[in-house]
Amino acid sequence: MLFLIWELLLLLNSAAIGFAERVELFWDIGRLNISRDGYNTWDSICVNNAVPIPPVHVTQGDVLVLNVRNSLDVPTAVHAHGIYHNYTDYYDGAEMVTECGIPPGENFTYIIDTTTQAGDLWIHGHVHSQLTDGFRTPFIIHEKVKPTTYDKDEVLYFEDWNERTFEDMVAIDAKLKLANIPPLYRTMLINGVNANTSKSLHFEPRKRYRLRIMSLSTSSWIKFRMPGHTMHVISKDGVEAVPMEVDGLDLGPGQRVSIIVTAHDTAEFNYMYNVTLYANFIPL
């Protein structure tokens, strides 16, 4: 009898795995001399010799297989921010906490099971200042069943950015005797590029939109507003929330909020959304 039960459990488990997709990515982590803010050129961290790093999209139940090659001259590690990693903490990517870093010229494969989670997460480097230097991108786990009805799904993510690498900014601050103050960020990237070149949101009249608002900043807080529109929060940091109407969002580093916005009855007018860097993560 016990043998039959065990055999049935194996069959059910195999069937569940059979419905999941295996999403396999190959990332070669390096640096690329480029101007991402439209003004300053320096060596941003890139994937496969390109920036911005493409957002990762999977469906709940999929298995993400992330094959990483480290082409930097220092160790690296990859952290899927928001994944629980129950019994798989060795894939958590926190260098010298749950694993060693990936040495220069070496490879490592991360296997991330999304069976028990869905929502707005992100992936970033977890060694020194690599996140700050551009090693970050959204990681969206789409629900098999939508938490509410909407017509279209958009990701809108923001990064604080500076005119030099983090290490260079720290060195400058040290000379100015500002060693205890984190570097202040003078500009922002929208969906990985300068705001002047980022694409507009195109709303169709009366359509309902899910906007995944994500702060991938290092230390800056962000205010987000959509004047003339009503926003309804449906999830926070990858966890479903009781729907709540708000007139704006305040996001700290790493925070993510999904909202529902209904377009107006006409497309006759254009509207602006407002995003502001307004504070540093560490109180002064």
Q: What is the pLDDT of residues 177-216, one digit of tens each?
A: 555 555 567 788 999 998 888 888 899 999 999 999 999 9
pLDDT of 284:
41
Is residue 60 classed as helix, strand or coil in its secondary structure? coil
pLDDT of 182:
58
5-14, 66-75, 80-89, 268-277: lowest mean pLDDT where?
5-14
Task: Report the candidate in 127, 73, 71 with the shortest Cα–Cα distance to residue 99.
Answer: 127
| Pair 248, 192: CB distance under 8 Å | no
The predicted model gives 135-147 an average pLDDT of 94
Structure tokens of 151? 């017509």
Task: Report the candidate in 212, 221, 270 with the shortest Cα–Cα distance to residue 82.
Answer: 212
pLDDT of 178:
56
Is residue 169 classed as helix, strand or coil in its secondary structure? helix
Structure tokens of 189? 């990237």
Q: Is the peptide bond before 52 cis (omega within 30 degrees of 0)?
A: yes
Q: Is the pLDDT of residue 111 over 60?
A: yes
Q: What is the pLDDT of residues 217-234, one digit of tens each?
A: 988 899 999 998 999 999
pLDDT of 16:
46
| Pair 106, 63: CB distance under 8 Å | no
Give 40's pLDDT tier (boundaries 50, 70, 90).
Answer: confident
pLDDT of 255:
95
pTM: 0.86
Q: What is the pLDDT of residues 50-85, one digit of tens each?
A: 999 999 999 999 999 999 999 999 999 999 998 988
Give 14's pLDDT tier (boundaries 50, 70, 90).
Answer: very low
Q: Is the pLDDT of residue 2 over 50?
A: no
Whole-angstrom distance, CA of residue 23 vs CA of residue 16: 16
Whole-angstrom distance, CA of residue 65 vs CA of residue 29: 16
**Phi, psi torsion values for 91, nearest 5 degrees:** -105, 10
